[in-house]
Amino acid sequence: MIGEERKYQAFYTKSTPIVDYMVSKLSMEASDKIFEPCGGDGVFVEAILCENQFAYIDICELNTKSVEVLREKFSTLPNVNIRECDTLLDNELSFNSCFGGIYDKIIANPPYGAWQDYEKRSVLKKMYPELYSKESYGLFLFRCIELLKEDGILSFIIPDTFLNLHMHKALRNHILTKTQIVELVLFPSSFFPGVNFGYANLSIITLKKKNDYKKCIENSFPIINGFTNVEQLNDINQNTLKIYQFTQEIIFKNPDHAFLIAENSNVLKLITQSKFRIGDIADCVTGFYSGNDKRFLQVIRGDLKNGKNYCLVQTETISKDYNNNADILNGIESEQHFIPIVKGGNFKYLKPENWFMNWSKEAVQHYKTDKKGRFQNPKYYFRSGIGVPMISSSSITASLIENKLFDQSIVGIFPKDESLTYYLLAFFNSPTCNKLIRTINPSANNPANYIKKIPVIIPEKPILELINVKIKRIVDALRMTGSYDENEERQVWEVFEGIYKI
Ligand SMILES: C[S@@+](CC[C@H](N)C(=O)[O-])C[C@H]1O[C@@H](n2cnc3c(N)ncnc32)[C@H](O)[C@@H]1O
C-alpha cells in the first residue's frame, strides 16, 4: 500500500499572494465557464467566487475526503459543480477535449510527482504517449490545455523542471505551438507554505489556447524572476525584478526547445550557436553499479562520510596491478581482488582513494547477470578520463578518473583526444562551465545528456599549454599535500573568462 500522501500529493495553496496573482492572471469575465481540475479544499474556488459569486465552476477531485470538504463548502451553490473523479482519465473530460475544449478559464495547483500505480501508469502512457507519464503535473497541464476553448486562459503553479528537462520536451513543444504564453514567473519553492522542493523552483505559467501555429510562435512573453518575497508577485513592475522578454520562436529553436534564461546574452549565444559541444569531443557515459553495494563495496575508513554501513577494506585484498590485467573486465582470480572505484562527492581535480569494489571473478559474473546490477559502458572502465558527479552541491566539480572504475553517480567524460584531458578538467571546475551548465539545466543535476550540450572552445596551443601546466601543478600538489594554490586556480578561471567571454 502506498501512503495517501504520495498518491494525492495534496499540498494546498495556502498563500494569499499566490492565489491572488493566479486569479488575477485569468482576467475573469462574468460569463466564464471555469475549471478547477484538482480541487483540494477549494482555495482557488473561494477566491474566484469572491470576485464573481455567480461564476460557473466545475471542480474535479480524486480524494473522497477532499470531495466531502468541497461539498460542505459549495454544494448549496447551483453554479458550482463538484465531481469525484480522476482528471487525467475521466471519460467526460476526454470527450470534451476531443471537441476543442469547453472552458474559458482553468486554474490549478496540480499534484507534483504523484505516485501512480503501474496499471494507471500504463493507461496514462497510452493516453499521453509523448509525455513523461511519471511526472503528474505535466499530464495535468497537457490535459487542461486540451480542455481550454480557443482563447481560453489557464494559470498553473508547477515546478520549473518542465522548462529544461529532456523528458518534458514534448510538453514544451505543445505549449510553444498550441498556446500563447501570457506570463511565466519563477520563484523559490520556499514561497509556498509548508513545501520545499529541494530539487526545483516553482513557476506559475499563464497561457492562452491558440489553434494558430504562426500566432503561437510569433507571440512574445515575459519571464520574470528575481523575487525576494512572495508579495512581489502582485507588484510585478518593481525594478528589483528581472524581466526577460522572449518570442516563442526563439525558445522553440533552442536545443530541445529548452527555456534558456540568462542575464548575459553571450551565454545564450554560446549555448545555441556554438560550433562544438562536449558531446562532439568526448564520450560522456554513466558508470557501474554492483546491484548491492552493502555486499560488494568496502571503505578505507569507518569515519568516512556515508561510510559507516560498509565493511573496512583489508589492505592485503587490494589489487596493485589490476591495470596490467588484460582480462580485467572478467574479474580477478587472486586474493587481491578489491579495486578502487570513483564515486560521487564533490572533489575538485583529484579524488582520494576511499572506496573499493570487490572485483573477484564471481563478483563480476554476478554484476553482469544480476537484475539490479549495472555493468554498463564497460569499455570505459579502467580508462583515463574525467568524472563529474551527477549531483553537485553548489558548483559543478570534476576530478580525474585515473584508469579506475567509476560508479553510476558519476558521469565519465572521455575526451576523444586524450591530450585534452587536463584542459577539460580545468574547464569543468571553472565558474565559466558552471554558468553554462546551470543555464542549460538550472537544477543541481548534471546527467550525461546535459553535459554533452555544454559548448566548448579549444583555444590556441600556447593557451592550452598554459592551462595544462597550471592544472598539472594543482593535481601534483593535491597528490603530494592534499591542497593547492588557489591563486593558480583563479588565474586559470580568468583564462576561461577570456576564452568564453562570459
Ligand atoms: C496540490 S493539491 C492542490 C489542491 C488545491 N487546488 C490547492 O491549490 O490548494 C492537489 C489536489 O489534487 C488532488 N488530485 C491528485 N490526483 C488527482 C487526479 N488524478 N484527479 C483529480 N484530483 C487529483 C489531490 O487529492 C489534491 O487535493
Which three-class secondary structure state does DSSP give residue 308? Answer: coil
Q: Whose CA is nearest to atom 17 of ligand 1?
A: 62
In a domain, residue 400? The reply is yes
In-domain check, residue 301:
yes
Shared domain check, 336 and 430: yes
How high is the pLDDT of residue 5?
A: 56
Take atom 19 of ligand 1 and give the residue whose Cα is closest: 86
Question: What pLDDT score does 352 carry?
Answer: 92
Pocket test for ligand 1, best of 18, 38, 73 (most atoms within 8 A of CB): 38
Among 8, 119, 158, the mutation site with the greatest number of ligand 1 atoms within 8 A of its Cβ is 8
Q: What atom of ligand 1 comes closest to residue 63's alpha carbon? A: 25
Same domain, 410 and 464: yes
**From the CA of 147, how far away is ligand 1's center (Å)?**
17
Dihedral of CA atoms 180, 182, 188, 191 in degrees, nearest 10, equals: -130
Q: Does 270 map to a domain?
A: no
Could you tell me the maximum CA-CA distance found in the chain, to the nearest angstrom? Answer: 81
Residues 65 and 130 in one domain: yes
| 390 falls within a domain | yes
Residue nearest to atom 24 of ligand 1 (CA): 8
Q: Which of 62, 86, 90, 189 to mutate to test the pocket of ligand 1 (most atoms within 8 A of CB)?
A: 62
Q: Specify the pLDDT at position 12.
A: 72
Residue with CA closest to ligand 1 atom 2: 10
Q: Yes or no: say if 65 and 140 are a contact pair by the CB < 8 Å rule.
A: no
Residues 369 and 244 in one domain: no
Q: CB under 6 Å to ligand 1: residues?
A: 8-13, 38-40, 43-44, 60-63, 66, 86-88, 109, 111, 114
pLDDT at 200: 67
Same domain, 116 and 83: yes
Q: Specify whether 327 is located in the same domain as 237.
A: no
Q: Examine the domain organization and report whether 329 and 183 are in the same domain.
A: no
pLDDT the model gives residue 1:
36
Q: Are residues 375 and 298 in the same domain?
A: yes
Closest alpha carbon to 200 in 12, 442, 439, 392: 442
Q: What is the CATH number of the domain that holds 203?
A: 3.40.50.150
Q: 383-389 and 399-406: which strand pairing?
A: antiparallel
Give the structural domain span for 328.
280-500
If asked whether residues 246 and 284 sit together in one domain, one would say no
pLDDT for the residue numbered 6? 59
Domain boundary among 261, 291, 322: 261
Of the residues 233, 261, 289, the one at which a domain ends: 261
Q: How many domains does the structure of the chain reveal?
A: 2
Strand 355-358 with 338-342, pairing: antiparallel
Sheet holding 80-84, edge to edge: 80-84, 56-61, 33-36, 103-108, 148-159, 202-209, 179-187, 220-225, 242-247
Of 261, 290, 319, the residue at which a domain comes to its end is 261
In a domain, 266, yes or no: no
Residues 215 and 349 grouped into a single domain: no
Q: For the chain, which residues score pLDDT lower than 70? A: 1-10, 13, 194-200
Closest Cα to atom 5, ligand 1: which residue? 40
Question: 322 CA to middle of ligand 1, Å?
Answer: 55
